[in-house]
């Protein structure tokens, strides 16, 4: 960085994803001394970015970009550009002249969950299991305060692994999550497994990803957020990735700098949180067994349910 005179008018711009590993000398006044943090865009930002990328695309008059912005928390500018490309491809495939709201919604799903796999045929038995599993997620989320609203339930296989999925979309950008919300999310993640236990008294391999995510969340509550009374406030999570990367700052747990005894306590606490959450999920499903059956049967027939259809089925059952 030497050799620039103050009067030469040269401005040097640089970008990095890892500001915390930069040599301090680089950041001294006269070198890179201004830092502009470019975070993932919030809902207004996403709407503005969508508007930029639709400039050379033809949209149907009913298209509501605000709605798409609300459905895409955590998306970067590149993700949004990709989303619009996917929507254009979908519109072209159905030989439409304009991109419609449905193309955009389908593109959101495609980006989040992967493309539809029409060739993957499930046996009827497996389909029933997947339907109950997904409705388990949706119902537990619905009856757990603080959960993100259910946007769609589907038993159409998508992507590499998912045989079905429940899409929950937060109502707004959330920057802080409290303890009961985290517990609620763990409960929702275990809703699929809970439904399998309640309905079939037999579990399947279908919950692997749910269990992985729930365990990770429970561990973070204990080790990183100081949310366990037994373990206390000590921070046992050493971040190996940057807190700047991703909205959740997904640090990994690698170097262990605590005692064998603490490790045991942490394991016990993780197990307790997961067991308690599974129990409350099963309780919810047992209490709402009629709705579980009704929604699962409808889902088997229609393969996908949007939020409106899901809520209508629940309201129908709770009022009678």
**Chain residues in the site for Zn ion (CB under 5 A):** 192, 210
When the beta carbons of 90 and 162 are compared against Zn ion, the nearer one is 162
Nearest by Cα to 107 from 123, 94, 125, 120: 94
Shortest separation between residue 209's beta carbon and Zn ion, angstroms: 7
Nearest by Cα to 183 from 287, 251, 285, 281: 281
Phi-psi region of 30 (alpha: psi -120 to 50; beta: other; left: phi over 0): left
3-state secondary structure at position 153: strand
Nearest by Cα to 246 from 43, 79, 16, 40: 40
When the beta carbons of 109 and 210 are compared against Zn ion, the nearer one is 210
Shortest separation between residue 227's beta carbon and Zn ion, angstroms: 24
CA distance linking residue 199 with residue 292, whole number of Å:
10
Contact 91, 99 (CB under 8 A): yes
Choosing from 86, 134, 196, 269, which is the catalytic residue? 134
Shortest separation between residue 158's beta carbon and Zn ion, angstroms: 13
When the beta carbons of 63 and 194 are compared against Zn ion, the nearer one is 194
Shortest separation between residue 137's beta carbon and Zn ion, angstroms: 6
Residues 6+ apart with CB under 8 A from 105: 68, 71
Here the tokens at position 69 are: 């912005």
When the beta carbons of 99 and 281 are compared against Zn ion, the nearer one is 281
Q: Which residue has the tokens 């409705």?
A: 135
3-state secondary structure at position 307: helix
Helix spans in the chain (H): 43-53, 65-70, 77-93, 101-113, 124-142, 179-189, 191-200, 208-223, 260-287, 289-302, 307-319
304 has which bridge partners? Answer: 154
Shortest separation between residue 211's beta carbon and Zn ion, angstroms: 9
The DSSP annotation for 106-136 comes to HHHHHHHH--B-TT-PPPHHHHHHHHHHHHH
Nearest by Cα to 143 from 187, 179, 198, 182: 187
197 is catalytic: no
When the beta carbons of 84 and 155 are compared against Zn ion, the nearer one is 155
Shortest separation between residue 128's beta carbon and Zn ion, angstroms: 15
When the beta carbons of 59 and 299 are compared against Zn ion, the nearer one is 299
- Which positions are catalytic? 134
């Amino acid at each position: 960085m030497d050799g620039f005179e103050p009067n030469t008018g040269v401005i040097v711009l640089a970008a990095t994803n890892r500001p915390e590993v930069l040599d301090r000398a680089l950041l001294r006044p006269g070198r890179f001394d201004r830092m502009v943090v470019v975070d993932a865009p919030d809902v207004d930002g996403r709407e503005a970015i969508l508007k930029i990328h639709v400039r050379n695309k033809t949209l149907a008059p009913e298209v509501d970009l605000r709605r798409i912005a609300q459905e895409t928390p955590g998306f970067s500018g590149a993700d949004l550009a990709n989303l619009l490309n996917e929507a254009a491809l979908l519109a072209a495939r159905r030989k439409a002249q304009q991109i419609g709201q449905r193309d955009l919604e389908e593109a959101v799903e495609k980006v989040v969950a992967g493309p539809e796999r029409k060739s993957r045929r499930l046996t009827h038995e497996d389909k029933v299991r997947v339907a109950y599993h997904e409705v388990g997620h949706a119902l537990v989320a619905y009856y757990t305060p603080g959960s993100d609203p259910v946007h769609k339930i589907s038993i159409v296989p998508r992507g590499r692994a998912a045989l079905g999925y429940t899409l929950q979309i937060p109502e707004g950008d959330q920057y802080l999550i409290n303890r009961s919300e985290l517990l609620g999310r763990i409960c929702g993640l275990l809703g699929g497994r809970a439904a399998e236990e309640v309905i079939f008294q037999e579990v399947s391999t279908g919950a692997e990803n749910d269990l992985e995510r729930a365990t990770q969340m429970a561990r973070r509550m204990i080790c990183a957020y100081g949310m366990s009374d037994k373990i206390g406030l000590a921070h046992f999570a050493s971040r190996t990735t940057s807190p700047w990367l991703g909205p959740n700052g997904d640090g990994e747990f690698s170097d262990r700098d605590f005692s064998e005894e603490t490790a045991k306590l942490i394991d016990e606490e993780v197990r307790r949180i997961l067991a308690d959450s599974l129990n409350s999920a099963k309780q919810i499903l047992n209490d709402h067994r009629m709705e579980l059956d009704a929604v699962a049967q409808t889902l088997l027939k229609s393969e996908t349910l949007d939020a409106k259809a899901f809520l209508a089925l629940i309201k129908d059952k709770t009022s009678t």
